[in-house]
């Protein structure tokens, strides 16, 4: 295997493949009427998942790629939460059954800057409008800098059983460069509060490729995190797209590491986590061996959705909130992005759907191939082709890319079994892209491959 693969492939602009097709292909031709029809077709008693987007933070992290805004007041958050409650009821009434829910995920933004009372009211609405299964996973994303003890108690009281804490980096030089000052002590205090409140499963989010970040500072950060022994890590490469997120222009591009340095940072974190007993999950997740994600990997049940890798097997994901994306068996739907437009739709008892995408048979075929590559680092093309009644020879869109990866030793192809070689996992997005029939029309909107 060539030693300069990160340099050769690292500048390619590729999707993270948390969906297929990806969001740039969504269209306003899919709207409220389509979504209502899709919701009504959910089979009786088939569990679904819910994602709630809370687009507010107390300060803006300059690396952020999320749809969020800064507020210092609680009133806008409380008003927005009332909109979420209304939308949750509207969707439930459209479905016309008390839909069972197996997973709930609060994302953002910073969901836990809601007051405890507001959060409890929102969870109460979900439990009233839907049948939240007794063993449902209820997860929330948390900024440790703003987590209070009353809010920790509230999430425990509301049945939250998984929390994802943003860490990114403990290097103060990096923190100043991204406008996110966060001490190890703040993070440790948040962990202690959550565990004391009964939130037993914890995830940490780390980022590499940030300004002024080094291999040494990445190692120091992950070593401190391991002391707190979270169940999972998500390790993301910073996506610098200032044309898309204007606040990223505050980051000094000259301080960003190149592809080779980014790869070294990523592998340094990976080696430290594996040495500490974590199992590598796909491209960028790591989990303790008894964590649900590691079990799903061993049993061949690993999936991929907008939150990354998951053991969630539900075919329907309901997105609630401004900019939230949902997935139905028929396709994707996305809500209006601005909170003003969101409130206008909800006030008229309309669903907030602004655009979406209806799957073709070819999309379903390629989505299954790409998901198996991203999850298993391998795909049996004839097996998936048989499931879809397709010719496996038609699966490869960019044969030259795949042949290049094979020639460079990153991929093996035995018959129609495509496998990513050990040590080349960081190129899995490049492998998946060889099967992407839409990529040529959207490459400029994606992040660097390495």
Strand blocks (E) in 39-114 = 48-54, 56-57, 69-70, 100-108
Q: Is 328 among the domain residues?
A: no
Tokens (6 digits) for 95? 């479905």
Contact assessment for residue 268 and residue 16, using Cβ atoms and an 8 Å cutoff = no
337, 76 Cβ separation under 8 angstroms: no
Range(s) of the domain holding residue 204: 14-320
Query: What does 152-171 look like in DSSP terms, one character per residue?
Result: HHHHHHTT--EEEEEEE---
Q: Is position 39 within any domain?
A: yes
- 174 plus 310 within the same structural domain: yes
Which residues partner with 327 through β-bridges?
A: 317, 332
* CA–CA–CA angle 442, 209, 424 (5° rounding): 75
Is 261 within a domain? yes
50 and 30 share a domain? yes
Give yes or no: residues 212 and 147 share one domain. yes
CATH of the domain at 409: 1.10.10.920
Residues 149 and 126 in one domain: yes
pTM, rounded to two decimals = 0.94
162 Cβ contact partners less than 8 Å away, ≥ 6 residues apart? 137, 138, 139, 140, 199, 201, 202, 203
184 with 163, same domain: the answer is: yes
Q: Are residues 37 and 109 in the same domain?
A: yes
| Number of domains observed in the structure of the chain | 2
Please list the pLDDT of the chain residue by residue as tens digits (450 residues): 666 787 777 677 788 999 999 988 999 999 999 999 999 999 999 999 999 999 999 888 888 877 888 888 899 999 999 999 999 999 999 998 899 999 999 998 899 999 999 999 999 999 999 999 999 999 999 999 999 999 999 999 999 999 999 999 999 999 999 999 999 999 999 999 999 999 999 999 999 999 999 999 999 999 999 999 999 999 999 988 877 678 887 888 899 999 889 999 999 999 999 999 999 999 999 999 999 999 999 999 999 998 889 999 999 999 999 999 999 999 999 999 999 999 999 999 999 999 999 999 999 999 999 999 999 999 999 999 999 999 998 999 999 999 999 999 999 999 889 999 998 999 999 999 999 999 877 655 666 656
Q: Are residues 7 and 60 in the same domain?
A: no
């Amino acid at each position: 295997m060539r030693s300069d693969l990160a340099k050769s492939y690292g500048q390619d602009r590729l999707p993270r493949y948390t969906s297929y097709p990806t969001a740039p292909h969504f269209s306003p031709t899919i709207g409220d009427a389509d979504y209502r029809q899709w919701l009504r077709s959910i089979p009786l008693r088939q569990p679904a998942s819910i994602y709630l987007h809370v687009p507010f933070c107390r300060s803006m992290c300059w690396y952020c790629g999320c749809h969020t805004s800064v507020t210092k007041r609680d009133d806008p958050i409380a008003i927005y939460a009332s909109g979420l409650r209304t939308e949750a009821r509207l969707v439930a009434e459209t479905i016309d059954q008390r839909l069972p829910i197996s997973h709930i995920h609060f994302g953002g933004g910073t969901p836990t800057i809601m007051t405890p009372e507001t959060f409890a009211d929102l969870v109460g609405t979900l439990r009233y409008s839907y049948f939240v299964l007794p063993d449902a996973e209820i997860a929330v994303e948390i900024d440790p800098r703003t987590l209070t003890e009353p809010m920790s108690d509230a999430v425990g009281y509301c049945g939250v059983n998984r929390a994802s804490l943003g860490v990114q980096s403990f290097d103060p030089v990096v923190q100043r460069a991204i406008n996110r000052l966060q001490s190890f002590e703040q993070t440790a205090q948040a962990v202690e509060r959550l565990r004391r409140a009964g939130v037993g499963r914890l995830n940490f989010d780390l980022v590499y490729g940030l300004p002024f970040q080094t291999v040494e500072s990445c190692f120091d950060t992950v070593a401190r995190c391991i002391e707190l022994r979270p169940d999972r890590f998500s390790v993301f490469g910073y996506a610098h797209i200032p044309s898309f997120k204007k606040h990223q222009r505050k980051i000094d591009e000259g301080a960003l590491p190149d592809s080779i340095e980014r790869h070294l940072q990523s592998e340094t974190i990976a080696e430290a986590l594996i040495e500490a007993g974590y199992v590598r999950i796909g491209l960028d997740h790591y989990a303790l061996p008894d964590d649900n994600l590691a079990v799903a990997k061993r049993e061949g049940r690993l999936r991929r959705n907008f939150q990354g890798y998951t053991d969630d097997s539900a075919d329907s994901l309901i997105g609630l909130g401004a900019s939230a994306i949902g997935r139905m068996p028929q396709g994707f739907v996305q809500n209006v992005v601005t909170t003003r437009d969101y409130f206008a739709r909800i006030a008229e008892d309309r669903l907030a759907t602004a655009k979406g995408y209806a799957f073709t048979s070819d999309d379903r075929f390629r989505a299954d191939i790409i998901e198996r590559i991203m999850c298993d680092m391998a795909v049996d093309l004839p097996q998936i082709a048989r499931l879809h009644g397709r010719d496996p020879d038609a699966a490869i869109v960019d044969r030259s890319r795949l042949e290049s990866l094979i020639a460079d030793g990153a991929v093996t192809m035995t018959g129609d079994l495509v496998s990513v070689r050990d040590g080349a996992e960081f190129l899995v997005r490049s492998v998946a892209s060889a099967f992407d029939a839409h990529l040529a029309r959207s490459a400029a909107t994606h992040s660097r491959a390495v």
